Amino acid sequence: MLAAAPDEASKKAGQGLANASKWQTTGASERAIWGECQGSGSKPYQTVVEAASLAARCSCPSRKFPCKHGIGLLLLLARNGNFSDRAEPAWASEWLDKRSGKAATAAAPKAEKAPVDTAAQAKRSAAREDKVSAGLHELELWLKDIIRDGIVQLPEKPQKFYDDIARRLVDAQAPGIARVLRQTGDLNFYSEGWQTPLLDRFGRLYLAIEGFRRADSLEPALAQELRSFIGFPQSTEVLQSQPGVSATWLVAGSQYEQESGLSTERHWLLGSNGHTALFLQFIPFNARPSNNLFPGQIFQGELVYYPAAYSLRAGIRSQQAISNLPAFSLLPDWNAVLALETGKLSRSPFAGEQIYALQGLRPVQLSDSQWLIEDMAGNQMLLGPGFNSLWKWLALSGGNLLPTVVLGEEHSFIPLGLWSGNTYIPFS
């Protein structure tokens, strides 16, 4: 259950709730376990976990899936061995009955599909194109106003300055652009050289605006990658006709996000054949993921890459768990990474972050607030923001150079995990 926790905070909070004193009641039946956990309010939070799927429901206000109460309840069960069998409370049985009804409906023979209304489909597609075009036009005016007034004022702007324009792009059905804008607001404007990543993001946004206007003149693969960058969905049906890539794959690291009742999982895969891939899945609240991947997992499988100018995102066609970690091809130093980054950006400015496995890296302190990542040749790269496992890295490496997988782009990277002997240790 800890592997399925949406983030470190939920994992830690769930461990703190795996204590019988935190729960007013607990119980179990053939199909579920449940409990009432006293929170800050007058009424306890009602938590139920379905036994067959481990899907959870809780009355707490958290939008994370599973929430800390669901994690804590399962950990408590694991520690105690069992809960007393008793009749399901109404609030638990009502939810479980609804899930059983949905499962029965899904298992029932499906009626023959009605013919696709191609005219209505084309109308909806054209409407979205118009909304995206209008949203990108508004973004262009926003960017030009900033450049006209000067970027020196941006460190004084609150997060709301970026959130407001991001929400307008969400309304315009361009969620990919909205994500870039929120990431821009998260920049450390008080660090040395903040202007470089800021203008990099602004440059890509402007390229996306101009590229969308000239989409008909772009190569099909680049046009598809641009649409994905903007936020148009990629159909999984297109993968059926694509050739597969077979290898042993390591889940080098994973990232989890929660927004508007939707969980986004990004799993970064490193292949024994030298390939890398991003497996991306979107999970509605209280739904079960189609693939249960976790950092450090190894499997033999076939991936299928989505069409793109720079192939990165992939679907999993077949998957078989294995236990032996194979040898991976490792890059010698940062110069090799920069050469690959140059090739990536020459093919597509929208490719974004990538993972690289290097023969030896270690953290080096530049100042109280800034660390660098040093390779075996003494070359150094910036340690990117958002890395919360620095002391774990120092403890594992002891200051020595160890084979490491990093994630990032251009001049800033964060470690995802490292090899200690024949064991891969993920940081997330």
Q: 357 vs 4, 250, 330, CA distance in Å?
A: 25, 11, 5
Q: What is the rounded distance in angstroms from the CA atom of residue 112 to the CA atom of residue 362?
A: 59
Strand-by-strand arrangement of the 314-321 sheet: 276-284, 262-271, 244-259, 298-305, 314-321
Tokens 């324009």 map to which residue? 165
Q: What is the pLDDT of residue 102?
A: 63
Q: What is the rounded distance in angstroms from the CA atom of residue 270 to the CA atom of residue 276?
A: 5
Which of 229, 226, 224, 241 has the alpha carbon at shortest distance from 304?
241
- Print pLDDT tens along the chain (428 aa): 455 566 777 888 888 888 888 889 999 988 889 999 988 777 899 999 888 777 888 988 787 778 889 888 888 888 877 788 888 898 999 888 888 776 565 555 555 556 767 788 788 888 999 999 999 999 999 999 999 989 988 998 988 999 999 999 999 999 899 989 988 888 888 877 888 888 989 999 999 999 999 988 988 889 988 998 998 887 777 777 778 899 999 999 999 887 766 788 899 999 999 999 999 888 877 677 778 889 999 999 999 998 888 888 898 988 888 888 888 999 999 999 999 999 998 888 888 899 999 999 999 998 877 899 999 999 999 898 888 899 999 999 998 999 999 999 888 899 999 999 889 999 97
Q: What is the pLDDT of residue 109?
A: 59
Q: What is the rounded distance in angstroms from the CA atom of residue 424 to the CA atom of residue 403?
A: 9
* Tokens, residue 367: 């100042």
Q: What is the pLDDT of residue 377?
A: 95
User: Using an 8 Å Cβ cutoff, are 332 and 387 in contact?
Assistant: no
**Residue 3: other Cβ atoms inside 10 A:** 12
Q: What is the rounded distance in angstroms from the CA atom of residue 66 to the CA atom of residue 287?
A: 10
Write the burial class of residue 271 (CB in 10 Å: 0-12 exposed, 13-18 middle, 19+ buried): buried
97-132 burial, b if ≥16 CB within 10 A, otherwise e?
A: eebeeeeeeeeeeeeeeeeeeeeeeeeeeeeeeeeb
Q: What is the pLDDT of residue 306?
A: 86
**Residue 210: other Cβ atoms inside 10 A:** 11
3-class SS of residue 27: strand
- The beta strand positions in 366-411, using DSSP E, are 371-375, 380-383, 402-409
